[in-house]
């Protein structure tokens, strides 16, 4: 009899056991699996230590990177949760005592069975159930490792969706964090499909690299502005890409498809080297959902009196909420602080929504126009005095 506690259409989840060494070795002993989160292949001893750690996490926190199986029992890999340290992102899961032990109040058992709906589903291992005693401001990290023969089947996304629903609905976790190796484009794609939005990159000691990082919130968060920094470059690239695609796919398709997300990541990796451009990020919680850049003018008729709204983009998830005005106001104030008397910007003529936005905020055509990507752009200006 299996002990699956969670199911999706094609996958089954259970807990790691001490006798799962063979399964663990088939997964974490495969260099193809570990090369994107470990500098060196894991030894047999390191894999056994990893297995013991997963079991310990289950007993201590009620979560782990759960092993995955097909309905026929074929081992697929693992997907699940682990505590996010308080020192990173200001959130974390606190440890829980087993029922009747010192250091905490008794908690119910049963996460190793379906959803612990009945007394018969309660397991005998006294694993702690987070949903009974969880700090509701906690954050957990989601991750998945799949065997190479199961890559390309959509299992990672399917498994993660099940874990996200379990985390938010059953465990009442408010925030999920995820990260991946900079070269792991498949994980990037999966996380974006799942609704994760970029945050500042975090240094990952096992690889010695800054990994693109993402957050997913159960509930909405307020937004605020802060200066962008180099660690934001992956997230800023995603906002730039997604906003541009969402705006211009129909209006100017050739422009919308002129650069890939990889191109934008390369662009933003060097953006902070420009001393004549400063960027502010709009952050929701810690998700980066907008950007605006105040810059020196790039036009031939520059006379030193005007600066430029270099770019202003919002992630589609925060469109129509008044954030564009917030970004534009910051940019105008930054240009004025720098000493410019006038703010100027370029808008595609066919982008009527953007043109109305700028006109509502005091911008007027200055008579300049140019053509790019087969369509006209118009230049607007606003007196900052």
C-alpha distances in Å from residue 192, one per residue of 41, 120, 208: 28, 39, 24
Cβ atoms of 319 and 344 within 8 Å: the answer is: no
- Residue pair 258/245 in contact by the 8 Å Cβ criterion: no
* Average pLDDT value for the chain: 87
Question: Thinking of the domain 223-383, which architecture would CATH place it in?
Answer: 3-Layer(aba) Sandwich (3.40)
The domains of the chain are located at 6-175, 223-383
For residues 204-220, give the mean pLDDT. 94
Q: What is the mean pLDDT of residues 2-24?
A: 95
Using pLDDT thresholds of 50, 70 and 90, give the confidence band for residue 138: confident
SS (H, E, C) 105-171: CCCCECCCCCCCCCHHHCCCCCCECHHHCCCCCCEEEEEEEECHHHCCCCHHHHHHHHHHHHHHHHC
Q: For residue 125, is pLDDT > 50?
A: no
Q: What is the pLDDT of residue 91?
A: 54
Given a cut of 90, whether residue 178 has pLDDT beyond it is yes
Question: 6-175 sits in which CATH class?
Answer: alpha beta
Beta-sheet pairing, 175-179 with 209-217: antiparallel
- Higher pLDDT among residues 107 and 229, named by residue: 229
Q: Is the pLDDT of residue 217 over 70?
A: yes
Given a cut of 50, whether residue 162 has pLDDT beyond it is yes
Residue 149 CB contacts under 8 Å (≥ 6 apart), including other chains: none
Question: What is the predicted pLDDT for the residue at 132?
Answer: 37
**Helix-then-strand count for the chain, H and E:** 10, 15
Beta bridge partners of 312: 292
Separation between Cα atoms, residue 294 and residue 354, nearest integer Å: 18
Distance CA 248, CA 349 (A): 12
Confidence of residue 84 (pLDDT cuts 50, 70, 90): confident
Closest CA to 235 of 273, 186, 284: 284
Q: What is the pLDDT of residue 87?
A: 43
pLDDT at 92 over 80: no
SS3 label, residue 305:
coil
pLDDT at 357 over 90: yes
pLDDT attached to residue 104: 29
Average pLDDT over residues 321-337: 97
Same fold? 6-175, 223-383: yes
Name 291's Cβ contacts closer than 8 Å, sequence gap at least 6: 228, 236, 239, 240, 279, 280, 281, 282, 311, 312, 313, 327
CA distance 217 to 180: 18
Give the DSSP letter string of 285-304.
TTEEEEEEEEE---STT--S
How are beta strands 342-348 and 306-314 bridged, if at all? Answer: parallel
Q: What is the mean pLDDT of residues 362-383?
A: 98
Calculated CA dihedral for residues 167, 69, 47, 166, nearest 10 degrees: 0
Instruction: Please state, in angstroms and as integers, the Cα–Cα distance from residue 2 to each residue in 12, 73, 114, following that order.
Output: 10, 9, 11
Which pLDDT score, from 0 to 100, does residue 113 have? 24
Q: What is the pLDDT at residue 37? A: 87
CA distance 338 to 333: 9
Q: How far apart are the first and last CA of the chain?
A: 76
How is residue 262 written in tokens? 């990889």
């Amino acid at each position: 009899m299996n002990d699956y506690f969670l199911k999706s259409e094609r996958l089954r989840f259970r807990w790691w056991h001490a006798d799962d060494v063979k399964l663990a070795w088939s997964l974490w002993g495969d260099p193809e699996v570990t090369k994107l989160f470990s500098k060196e292949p894991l030894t047999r001893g390191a894999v056994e230590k990893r297995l013991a750690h997963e079991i310990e996490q289950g007993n201590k926190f009620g979560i782990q990177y759960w092993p995955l199986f097909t309905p026929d029992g074929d081992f697929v890999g693992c997907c699940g949760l682990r505590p996010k340290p308080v020192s990173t992102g200001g959130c974390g899961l606190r440890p829980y005592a087993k029922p009747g032990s010192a250091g905490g109040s008794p908690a119910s058992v049963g996460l190793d069975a379906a959803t612990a709906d009945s007394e018969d589903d309660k397991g005998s291992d006294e694993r702690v159930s987070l949903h009974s005693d969880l700090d509701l401001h906690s954050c957990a990290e989601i991750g998945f490792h799949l065997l190479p023969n199961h890559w390309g089947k959509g299992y990672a996304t399917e498994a993660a969706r099940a874990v996200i629903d379990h985390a938010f609905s059953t465990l009442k976790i408010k925030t999920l964090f995820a990260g991946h190796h900079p070269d792991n484009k498949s994980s990037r794609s999966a996380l974006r499909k799942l609704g994760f939005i970029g945050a500042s990159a975090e240094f990952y000691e096992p690889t010695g690299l800054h990994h693109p990082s993402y957050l997913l919130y159960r509930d909405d968060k307020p937004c605020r502005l802060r200066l962008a920094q180099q660690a934001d470059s992956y997230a800023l690239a995603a906002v730039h890409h997604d906003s541009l695609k969402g705006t211009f796919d129909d209006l100017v398709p050739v422009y919308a498809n002129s650069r890939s997300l990889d191109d934008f990541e390369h662009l933003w990796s060097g953006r902070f080297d420009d001393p004549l451009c400063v960027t502010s990020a709009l952050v929701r919680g810690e998700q980066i959902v907008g950007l605006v850049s105040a810059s020196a003018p790039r036009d031939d008729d520059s006379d030193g009196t005007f600066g430029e709204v270099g770019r202003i983009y919002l992630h589609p998830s925060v469109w129509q909420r008044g954030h564009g005005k917030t970004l534009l106001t910051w940019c105008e104030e930054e240009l004025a602080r720098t000493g410019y008397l006038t703010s100027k910007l370029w808008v595609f003529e066919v982008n009527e929504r953007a043109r109305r936005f700028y006109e509502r905020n005091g911008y007027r055509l200055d008579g300049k126009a140019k053509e790019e990507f087969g369509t006209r752009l118009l230049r607007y200006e606003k007196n900052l005095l």
